[in-house]
Each structure stands twice: as C-alpha cells, then as structure tokens.
A and B are shown apart, each in its own frame.
Chain A
Amino acid sequence: MRQWLSVLCCLALAAAVLGGTSQVGAQGGGSIVGEVKFSGTPPAPKVVKVNKDNQACGDEKKSEELVVGANKGIKNAVVSVVGAKGPAPKPAQKPLLDQKGCQFQPHVLLLPAGAEVDIQNPDGVLHNIHTFSTANPSINKAQPKFKKVMTEKFEKPEIIKVQCDAHSWMLGWVVVQAHPHYAVTDEGGAFKLDNVPAGKHKVEVWHETLGKMTQEVEVKAGAPAKVTFELAKK
C-alpha cells in the first residue's frame, strides 16, 4: 500500500513538473476551482481624489485594495497550493506591469521566480517603482515620462508591495511564484488551479487587506475539487 502511495506521489510530481504542457486531469492531476467571498456587508469602495497630473491620471481613482463583486466575490485574491514543488511555467508572453492612467495593471501580477517583467509607463508623467520586499532587493527606481519600459527581475518567491511615491494612491502587488500552483481571483471571486497532483492539499488564500486563510482539499484525478473561502474584515 505504502509503495503504491509513493509511486502515486512520484507520478503526481511528474505531472506537476510537466504541468505547463499537460492537460487537465492528465497523469493523475486534478484541478481546484472555487470562489473567494466576502463575509458580511462589504464596505463601500474607497475613492481617491486625484490632485496632480489629472490629464494622465483622471480626476479620481477607485481604490483596488478591496474589490467585492455582485455576489460578494472578492477580486484580486491570490490562491495557492501550500508547499507545492517545481518551477513555475515560463509564461507564453513576457509579463507586463502597466501603469496606464496612474494605476498598476494588473493590480496583482503573478510572476514566476527569475522571470523578467516589463514595467510600462505610457502616461507621459514621472512614476517610480518602489518595491517593499525582504527576500529580493527592495528597489526604488524612477521611471520618467521618456522611459517607456523598464525591465526588472525578481529572483526569490515573495509577495511584494509596489507603490509609486509620486502618486500616493498607486498600489500594486507582484506575487513571485515559488511553484506553478497559483491563481488570482477574477471579478466574481472565482479561481481555478490546474494540474494539481491528486491527493490532500492545503490551499491558501491571501488578500492584501483581509489576510490569509487555508483549507484542506482533496484533489482527485480528472475531477475538479471545489473550495470556497469566506474572508472577513479583520
């Protein structure tokens, strides 16, 4: 019995390694689908009045700190399988962190460790990329209007806050992945983790203002495991 289990594990690992190319349910892998929901009455979204560079930035910005959808789904939460192994797949396209309209897009960017990211400034005003990290060097680099693209690399897995001091409302997150099994929730709070090896897993959700939560999930080959998180204001 035990031998069987370890063989299964090996297979699962192989599936994980090959995750980038293999299809859902193949080689004993499964998927985790689910939702991240807000528990309680969601607060009204914060709106920041823009007091500079209005031509590029507009007159007001909706804060993306906590975006709750129609059925209380939380956008921009990061769901990952705790302790999963293997390198994250190379993205098909070079990841892009855009600052169009004085706003980081995407608000949460998934990035494989060691991958390069293009940081774009199409606004024609000064931005500065100020990261708050501990594992990676904490950088603060200016990106003036004529510097349309800058390239950065983050070597070590970490969730990194990114801000622009020139525009105090600008806030974004770069999630440097330790392994392939990460997902960011969509508008409705839904996510899908593909190619998760079968077996019992701890799944963690992280949200920038609501914190972390974990749940145990059993993944079976070929069938999507369902999980719902309910996050409340701390």
Chain B
Amino acid sequence: MSVFRSKFFQAVLILVVVFLLFRFGIRPAAPWSVFTLYMFVALIAVLVYVSSNGDSWRSFVAPIRATVLDDSKRPIRLVLMVLLPLLFGYYAYTQAAARIEAPAELRAIHPAPPASISFRGKTLDVQGLENPLRKDAPNLKKYVAEGAVIYIKNCMYCHGDNLDGNGHFAHVFNPPPANFTDPGTIAMLQEAFLFWRIAKGGPGLPKESTPWNSVMPAWEDRLSEEDIWKVIMYLYDATGYQPRRWESHAAVPSPLTLTLSPRGEREMRGSSPPAAEGEKFAFSSPPQGEKSVPSSLPQGERTQVRGSGASLVSAAWAQPAGDPAKGKAIYEQKCLLCHGEKGDGNGPAAPLLDPRPRDFTKGKYKIRTSASGRLPTDADLFRIIAEGMPGTSMPGWKVLPEKDRRDLVAYLKTFAGDAFKEAPKVSDLPKEVASSKESLARGKEMFEAIECNKCHGNAGRGDGPSMPELKDDWGNPVRPANLTKSWTFRGGASAREVAARLVTGLMGTPMPSFIDSVEKPEDVWHVANYVKSLGPEKMDFATILPVRAVQGEIPDDPAAKFWEGQPPHHFPLAGQVIADPRNFNPSVDMVTVRAVYSESEIAFHVTWDDPTPSKPDPKAKTFADQVALQFATRPGEGNERPYVLAGDGSNPVTLLRWSSEGGVGEASATGIAKITPRTGEAVKAKGKAVFADGQYRLVIKRPRGGADPNDLAFPVGRFLSVAFMAWDGGAGEGGAKMSFSSWYYLRLEEPGSNKPYIIPPLVVLVTAALELLVIRGARRRTHGG
C-alpha cells in the first residue's frame, strides 16, 4: 500500500502516463522537439508538486536515498550503476549517429496578394476583383460544369478527383498540393486571391512563400481569364464552400446545392484491405462518410453527418442492394468526368488518362473474385470503388458514405445491359501458402515455367518481349505491371490479392487466368509469394540526399560492387503537365540515387526502371532515354532556388544529364523550353550507364568545383539543392514530355565522422563517474554526520 502513497512512485507514474499520452495519444504524431518540450514541462510540474512541502519532498526522496545508502538495496544499486550509464550512452549514440535531416523551412501559406497583376497584357486589380461570371445568374450551372471539365483536364492530377489535394501525382511534391476541402484553404479566401494563385502559380509567389518549392504552374498561358473564373466556381461548388467577399451581406447562392464533401483521410495507395478466409474478400475498416450540408451555412462551419458505418467485416454481401437511381445522381457528380455519361469510359478526361477509365458497358472488369470471363460480384465492385486502383488515376472513394457506394455499384451494373442478370461464378482461391524459402523456390520455378517473363520480364520490371505489342480489349496499348513495385498493383499488394489475380486473370487485358494452367492449384500462392519477393514491401521515399565521403577512386562502373554498399535514396517523379507536349502518364515514376564524394569528385549513381533501351527513331516515334540531375547554377541566399521546372529567367539551373544517344553531358537552362547544352571544355561531367532487365544504372561524376565562382560547387556540410528528371524515349517521352521531382536537399556529409564511436563511451564513463561521486558523497555525509 505504501508504494502507492510514495511520492516517488506517484511522480514516476505521472511521468509515464504523460509520456504515453504525448507519444501515442496525439495524431498525427507531434515532432520530437515539441514532444521533449512537453515532457520537460511535465517534469518541472511534477517536481513542483513533490516539493510543495517538506513531508512530500522527504517522501519523494526517501526511495532514492534508500537505494543510494541502504546496504539491503545493494543489488539494485549495482544494477542501476550499470544500467544508467548504458542508457545514457545509447542515447548519445542515437544522437551522434543521427541521419541528417532537411532543415526546417517556414513559408507563408496565404501571402498577401499584390495590388494588381498583369494577365496576358492586361492589368487586373486583385484588390476588389470579382468573379464576373457570378453576375450571369442564368448560366451559373453551365459555368460550373465547364469549370469541372477544366479542373479534370488540368488540376486533377495533383489536387485530386476529391479536391482533397490527393491526386495521383500529389505524393511527389513538397509542399503538397492544396486541399480545397480543408476549411483553411478556399473557404477563407476571396475569389480574386484564387485567380491570382492560379494565374501566377508558384513562380508568382512572394519570397516568404518559398516560390521555388511550389510546383504549382502559372496557368496564365494555358487557361483564359474566363477558364480560370469557371474553374474557381467549380472549386467552390464542388466543396460546398463560399468564397469570402468584400460585402458580407450579399450571399449569392451557389448554383448547385451540394453535395458530398470529398473530405477524407488520404488513402495509402498500395495498402490493401485485410481479407477474410476463403475466396470471399472482406473490406477494410468500416466505411465512414461525411456529408456537407448545403452551402448556405457560414464558412467553415459545416456540420458533419456520419455515414451509417455498419461493419462489413466478412459479412459478405448480406447487405441490401443499392438503389441505381440514387447511384446515378452520385455517378453524375463524381464519376462522369472520367467514365462518361454513358458509362463507356469516354468522359472528357478520358483521352488524358492511361490506363483509360473503365468502360462499364462491356461488363469486363479487371479486379474480380469471379472466374475468367465472368462478371464481378457486387462485393468486387464495391471494393474497387472504396479502395480505388493504385497506380492509376482512380482514387478510393471512402469519402462517400457506404450507402452511396452501394448505390453506385447498383448503377454501374445497369450500363452493361442484361449482363449482370447472370449470377457471378466466384473462383475459389486455393488454400493459403505462407511465404517460405521452399515456397519462393517453387514460385520461381513456376514463374519461369508459366513464362510470366513473356510480359513482365525476367526481373519482373514489366519489360518482357511481348510488352510493346500488348493491347487491351478496346485496342489501347497496355503496360504489364512492374512486379517490383507492389504499391502500384491495381488490385492490391498483398500475396492474397496477387494470388487472386493469378486465379482470375485481369479481364479485358492480356493477363490470363492461370488457375487451370498451373501444375497444382497451390502454385498460384507460390508464384504470388515469389512475385512479392521481387520488390520491396513498400516504398519509403527520401526527403534528403546525403552524400557520403569515400577515400580514393570512385568506381565508374555502375555495376560495381561498391555501389551496392551505398545506401539508396528513392525520389518520386510526376509528369510535366504545364508545357506542351504534356505528360499525363509518365513512364518513369521514381529514381533511386546513391551519392558519394572524394577529395576532388562527386559521383551520383542513378537507378531507374525503363522497359526498353531506346534510340531516336522518327518512324517509331521514339526518342533517346534520358535522365538529368538538376542543380541551382547560383545557390542563392538561404534556401532560395530556381523554379523547379528547369529554372526561370533570372534563376538558371545546371543539368548533369545522360542520354542513350549522346552519353553524359551538361546543360544550362532558364526554363523548360530554354535548355542550352554545354559543349567542349565546359562539360566537366563524365559517366557511364548500363541497361539490364528493364533497368538503367548510371554513374555520373563531376569535379567538386569551388575555384570558379560561376561553376557548380559541392562544398562539404552545406545544404545544396537537387532535383531529378527522366525521359523514357521508348514511351515517346522527349523534350518537355518528361517526369520530374520536387527540389530536394543534398548535403555532403563530414568525412569519416567518428563521433558515434567516441561520444557514447565518454558519456558512459562520465555518467558512471558522477554516480560514484553521488553515492560516495551521500554515504560520507550520512556516516560522517
């Protein structure tokens, strides 16, 4: 009993509870610095509490004194004497060996707009500027509808179908694209502010908003004044928000009373729902939905109505069927722009998408649990609507209430005529086989026997010999999956889902069903396990590129063992969509970079997947394969950088690049269309690339510079900037048609830092010495006094 009354115990208990609360109770997790600050405050508070009076203090100190002095506590004392120094030593080690992190950047999210802007030669006063289309009351609906088409053809890739800043390019960029459904964005802004942001984009931001980091293009060259106003109207209409106005009384009604708020947690693409036993696939977490109320409510005060949220876990399909009439209304708001009014996959956005949106009229669906040639079950359709299709522009629609998704399922089926009258024939998944050494060996054997490599390539990178000729049932070219990137698997990344794809095939594509054509049914599990082993479980993208110091010569050969020993850093790429020709479906979606430096040189080892090594060929419409590393030619003050797409007029960039045609070269650029190759002695980079099994590896080296102030320099310990670009010439990428990354920091690590090996032992020694001093001092006082 006395233990609980002990102030010492209470203090420890309070600290533990506070620790757990701060560490695990706050979502998203608080940064470490904030966390330590909170813990420090809690510690002070506890100390104040225990020292509030003499008795309390004595009660607090008693156990400590006893441990230090009592002979009976000798074992505990000895254990603590050893444990505490080790603990501190370990902490010191984690600190000394900590990986460098990108420096924090502060940016103004909603900077003050300029008084006026020049738009296509015309001066527009931003202050007091109003949306002229709002005055044309009879046509509001039409403008919103046109705005939606403009949005889906230009903005959706980053800002998402749901307007939640979660389009399929969004993960590539930092800062992330704006989430319009967040009450902190368009709901608190005037339309004139939006006009300015859309027209002038990232490059038009003031310095405090770090314009060099935003990839938001300036849309003034591509969209007309009216287009921009239309898309602004769509943004407000689709989110149900109202723009801020100068006069607060005149509330103009939004043309359509809306809607379903597309707010929601970002769905982790590549994550997969847990599946129940047997062939029936269960759904992930109970669906939740949020509904926005009509937009007449004050801004930012939208009530949230929770969806029914009934648990679906493995309840199969006992749920009542949806209502197709209601589904139609939702379809027209959420699906029509891609899938088309008739459900034939021919919406206004369709020509820009690859893979193209599903044509529902044929009843052919890729991701099913039903046998080859058979229609999907309702549960299959529901699953795809909820989860979306990773690696495509189809997002998950968990933002819609579960009931709405059911109604959509019912409506989709009506597009295929009478086809769905037949009950779907569900295909059985053989009994699960866990991954093991034996299973992987069998999987590899079967992978080769059933010739997965024909399309997917020997290493699974989607580079098989049949790859260039593959077409879907609609005659569109279709790329075989890159099996090393399971987070892009359309039907989910788990071994169960891969096995299900092997069993059922992907209808409408060249991927056949294998259940009748493996030696034993369980072979589909072995192959699935093997496929899973071809690539990493998930992809952790880097935030910074550390460059390691090495001694001596850096190997030129990209295949040299040396490079395998260097830590890889992965950087995502997105398509370039502002300059013509636009690239909505980039072929290269990431690069992996290893970087080292020596006394005189810096070297980058770049790895990227490309199904074919290609050369320029006007007949085949192919170009050279290329990759480029981009650096600011003049590193600016602080973190200033040129605009990420090859710089801008006053801020040039230097490109270190490689092309399958000309090898390694350098170029200066002041914009995507203003790239000037360097020639002769100005080119200091050299390097070499190798290609194997659908993958390029490149080493590109350059002197670290420093002598010439106009040349690139790579000094140790400074945060420099780097960005990446790639072109798959075989996929018709060349010139502006390419993929690119955000800016990243690059830092040359201090050479051979031995801090992690010196500081921790010192800490251990000092702690142990202090302990001895404290104990000896305390004992001397007690015994002496």
Q: What is the interface of chain A, defined by CB distance below 8 A to chain B?
A: 51-52, 125-126, 128-132, 136-147, 150, 165-168
Contact = CB atoms under 8 A, between A and B. Distances in A.
Secondary structure class of chain A's binding surface, majority of residues: loop
Given A137-B373, A138-B507, A140-B511, A125 B451 contact: yes
Contacts of B451: 125-126, 144-145, 166
Chain B interface SS verdict (over half): loop
A137 B374 contact: yes
B519 interface: yes
Contact of B455 (A138, A146, A166): A166
B473 A141 contact: no
Contacts of A132: 473
Contact of B450 (A144, A167, A168): A144
B510 interface: yes
23 contacts: A126-B454, A128-B512, A129-B512, A130-B512, A137-B372, A137-B374, A138-B373, A139-B373, A140-B373, A140-B507, A140-B510, A140-B512, A141-B505, A141-B512, A141-B517, A142-B517, A144-B517, A145-B451, A146-B449, A146-B519, A150-B516, A150-B517, A168-B469
Interface in B67-104: none
B714 interface: no
Interface residues of B, number: 27
B555 interface: no
Contacts of A136: 373
B566 interface: no
Given A138-B364, A166-B455, A147 B507 contact: no
A206 to B, nearest CB: 21
Contacts, number: 79
A146 B511 CA distance: 18
Interface in B506-548: 507, 509-514, 516-519
B470 interface: yes
A142 B450 contact: yes
A126 B469 CA distance: 16
Interface string B366-386: 000000111000000000000
A128 B471 CA distance: 14
A99 to B, nearest CB: 13
B465 A143 contact: no
Nearest to B519: A146
B333 interface: no
B377 to A, nearest CB: 15
Interface in B485-521: 505, 507, 509-514, 516-519
Nearest to A133: B373
B466 interface: yes
B491 to A, nearest CB: 15
Pairs of residues from A and B, 6 with the lowest C-beta to C-beta distance, nearest first: A137-B373, A165-B510, A126-B451, A168-B469, A142-B512, A128-B512
A77 to B, nearest CB: 24
Contacts of B509: 140
A147 B505 contact: no
B453 to A, nearest CB: 9
B470 to A, nearest CB: 6
Contacts of A140: 372-373, 505, 507, 509-513
B512 A147 contact: no
B493 to A, nearest CB: 22
Contact of B513 (A51, A142, A167): A142
B464 to A, nearest CB: 9
Nearest to A150: B516
A101 to B, nearest CB: 17
Contacts of A146: 449, 519
B417 to A, nearest CB: 10
Interface string B457-474: 000000001100111010
Contacts of B470: 165, 168
Contacts of B454: 52, 126, 166
Contacts of A138: 364, 373, 473, 507
Most buried by B among A131, A138, A142, A168: A142
Contacts of A137: 372-374
Given A142-B512, A142-B514, A166-B455, 10 more contacts: A51-B465, A52-B466, A130-B512, A131-B373, A137-B372, A140-B513, A141-B505, A144-B451, A147-B517, A165-B470
Interface in B368-421: 372-374
Nearest to B516: A141
B448 to A, nearest CB: 10
B469 A139 contact: no
